[in-house]
Chains A and B, each alone.
Chain A
Amino acid sequence: MIKWLGALLVAATLSLGVAMPTFAADKEKKIALQISDGSGETQTLILNVANNLQMHYGVDNVKIEIVAFGPGLRLLFKDNDNGNRIAALSQNGVRFSACQNTVQGMAKVLGHPPALNKQAIPVSAGIARIVELTEQGYTLVRP
């Protein structure tokens, strides 16, 4: 009986030991933030949300990707007034994806592609990137 209980305890401990990393991985949050309108208020809000998520979960416990497309791409324009905030969030691991379909569309209006923030990572299609992220377990949020 004692041996049986001992074996059960060892098995439970081992299973816990194996399960711990899996448990930690499950607790890591993955958030995709969509910005597709160009208002200044939305830009401020989405940067606030990213910042608040990192403060709430801890920088190392949450993966955040901001996907900008349509008018929302203005967030990632080179001279956007939020440049310092974007740089700070990027240093803390937030990824900024810039839709190239939107870039091409804007180029037709402007006569040249818009100059983008150096933190912007080109993705072929912003909406497709969001689909990919949700398939990878990201929670989509559109503030």
Chain B
Amino acid sequence: MNYIKRSIIAMACAGAMITTVNTAQAANWLMLQGTETAGTAARANVWGFVQLDYQADTSEPNSTGGYIPPKLLGPDLNTQHAFNVSRARIGVRGAALPLDDKVNYFILLEGGNNGITSIDGSSVKFTDASITLNHIPGARVRGGLFKYPGAEEGLQAIHVFDYINFTEVSNQLLLERFPNRVHPGTNPAPCDPTVTPACNLNRFDSPVGAFRDVGVQLFDAFKFGNLELSYAAMAGNGNGLNFSDNNDKLDTYLYLSTEWLFGSGDGPFREGLKFFVWTQNGERLFDGNNDGTYESYDRDRAGLGIKFLKKPWRFTAEYMKGEGMIWNGPDKATWALVPAGDLNPAHASNGLLAEGTGWYAEGGIYIPGTNFQVDLRYDYYARLDGSQYQLDWKAWTLGLQYHFNRKARVTFNYAMRDVNATSFAAGAGPNANLDGIEDRYGIQLTTIF
């Protein structure tokens, strides 16, 4: 918690140093996703993207022949080899009255098969529905459903993401799953569909948060020569893609970035060196001890990072920390990884009051004179950090991309994974299931229109 408080104080100090100079027109993630370029916005610009993939997981079952979620492909968690239309999004954005393009809108619909659409059985779901007001210099206002300011891996546009899958730390610590608000004792227990056809390992009843929230954000970017400073402050429901709130507690988000612009590239590929820091704080209601009443649990996240792009080279590194509401897997829809009958939220294996810490570093090169790009990533995540049940997730991911053109590419990834419970011997405790988590590879075709 001290870490998060220190981050907020540092951000407040940095924020106080920002003075309004000239409003930057160059794009960054805050600007790109919902803000139209002044004087050129269309009334309605239809756009979208499709991502098709084939993935294979080489993990081995446990000693009784059963599988756990990390050994199966999401979101369905019932196979180790599958083609999937992982994303199919179509949206419209623009300025309703182009003559007065200070009012912008942005809507985006997801129809692919992923954690957004599959969990609650809906086949199509809005991921974005926002309105941005650009009337006040230095204080743009965005309201609605949109990406909250935060970690680079979540804030960036997914269709230009260089890998097929998120890092484990972003996937588990930041990509929020929303608890079934009653204790699993009153829910069907998760079970392995590879053994029993009627079973389901995914017991969440709400879609993933998709790094989004419904709320209001104040933000802008300021240029001082080649230096660009950006800020964002947001208050939201803290209820992900759901349009309304489910408690009376608002989440708060703060974000600061400073970027040295090299003067070339544009949009997602603007070249520069960026430093950023962010925090998120909220509360979640949940019946953690199965006494029939809700308790409130803190969910705090913070992080910082660096991003560099100057073709042919690029590099990103992020560090992230979380306290409370630590996700313990899709079969643990209650954040609990608790021995049978133990209803103590403070138990060492329970995520409700636990911590998580992780980081990743990745980089790549656009091979000059070719359409190929090579990427390499290492990521680490300590789930239930510091507890007896801490799980260490480590992965090296090698990537190769071929760009057919600026709007279409194919991506190949090979991920070498190593997961274990650090306090337990091989085959003991959680390792009885974690042993056997092996490599995963996949190929993905992306086209943007």
The residues of A with any CB-CB pair to B shorter than 8 Å are: 38-40, 43, 71, 74-75, 77, 79-83, 106, 109-110, 114
User: Which residues of chain A come closer than 8 Å to B98, judged between CB atoms?
Assistant: 38, 71, 74
User: Which residues of chain A come closer than 8 Å to B25, judged between CB atoms?
Assistant: 81, 83
In the complex, which of the residues B40, B42, B97 contacts A81, with contact meaning CB atoms closer than 8 Å?
Answer: B40
Interface residues of B in 23-78 (CB under 8 A from A): 25, 37-42
Taking A39-B42, A40-B42 as contacts, is the C-beta distance between A81 and B37 under 8 angstroms?
yes
A80 touches B39 (CB 8 A): yes
Query: Which A-B residue pairs are the 6 nearest by beta carbons?
Result: A80-B39, A40-B40, A79-B38, A81-B37, A77-B39, A81-B25
Whole-angstrom distance from the CB of B93 to the nearest CB of chain A? 13
B99 touches A80 (CB 8 A): no
User: Which residues of chain B come closer than 8 Å to A83, judged between CB atoms?
Assistant: 25
User: Which residues of chain B come closer than 8 Å to A40, judged between CB atoms?
Assistant: 37, 39-42
B38 touches A77 (CB 8 A): yes
In the complex, which of the residues A43, A75, A81, A110 contacts B99, with contact meaning CB atoms closer than 8 Å?
Answer: A110
A74 touches B42 (CB 8 A): no
User: Which residues of chain B come closer than 8 Å to A71, judged between CB atoms?
Assistant: 98
Q: Please indicate which of the listed interface residues A43, A79, A83 has the most CB atoms of chain B within 10 Å of its own CB.
A: A79
A74 touches B40 (CB 8 A): yes
The residues of B with any CB-CB pair to A shorter than 8 Å are: 25, 37-42, 97-100
B42 touches A79 (CB 8 A): no
* Docked CA distance A100–B256 (Å): 43
A114 touches B38 (CB 8 A): no
Task: With CB as the reference atom, state the residue of chain B lying closest to A109.
Answer: B99
User: Which residues of chain B come closer than 8 Å to A77, judged between CB atoms?
Assistant: 38-39
User: Which residues of chain B come closer than 8 Å to A43, judged between CB atoms?
Assistant: 39-40
Whole-angstrom distance from the CB of A11 to the nearest CB of chain B? 58
User: Which residues of chain B come closer than 8 Å to A74, judged between CB atoms?
Assistant: 39-40, 98-99
* Docked CA distance A106–B99 (Å): 8
B99 touches A114 (CB 8 A): yes
Whole-angstrom distance from the CB of A123 to the nearest CB of chain B? 20
* Docked CA distance A81–B41 (Å): 10
* Docked CA distance A74–B42 (Å): 11
Whole-angstrom distance from the CB of A24 to the nearest CB of chain B? 38
Task: With CB as the reference atom, state the residue of chain B lying closest to A77.
Answer: B39
Whole-angstrom distance from the CB of B448 to the nearest CB of chain A? 17
* Docked CA distance A75–B38 (Å): 10
B39 touches A82 (CB 8 A): yes
